[in-house]
Homo-oligomer: A and B are copies of this chain.
Amino acid sequence: MNKLPQKTRLTQQRKTILDIVKSTCYHPTAEQIFKLVKKQLPKISVGTVYRNLDVLADQKLIKRIDIPGEPTRFDAELKNKAYFVCKNKGSIYDLKIDSEKLKSLVNCDCIDKIDDFHILLFGTSKDCPSEKGLRKGQLKR
């Protein structure tokens, strides 16, 4: 939610960062993105990554996923309305939630307008990944 400049530019760095977020099926952290970009642009610095993620998020090209106690992750799939975090392995599954139905669950006359929501569910998944394999939404640690 910073002030964007009047005209943003499509630099190599910004393009590469966006491509990486778009192409990963899991939801990488800034640190992970940094490492991945570095393979293509070895001179890039963390600051640049954070600044670009800020810009891209302000432009609504990507979305932040804030999980308490973990570094922020990023998602280029904007239609994901919620995330399910499996306790066992730290996997994250994307959930689509009907915004209108959700709003109807909320009873509070103090609310004028709901612009956005941030929903995390915690629990265990049925087919919880074994030690061996990595699955969609799972971070290597």
Contact = CB atoms under 8 A, between A and B. Distances in A.
Contacts of A101: 105
A109 B125 CA distance: 9
Interface of A: 64, 66, 68-69, 72, 82, 84, 87, 93, 95-98, 101-102, 105-128
Nearest to A93: B110
A114 B108 contact: no
A86 B127 CA distance: 38
A124 B112 contact: yes
Contacts of A117: 119-122
A115 B122 contact: yes
Contacts of A108: 84, 93, 95
B116 A106 contact: no
17 contacts: A66-B66, A84-B111, A84-B114, A97-B105, A97-B106, A98-B105, A106-B121, A110-B125, A110-B126, A114-B123, A115-B122, A116-B122, A117-B120, A118-B119, A118-B120, A118-B121, A119-B119
Contacts of A87: 115
A126 B119 CA distance: 23
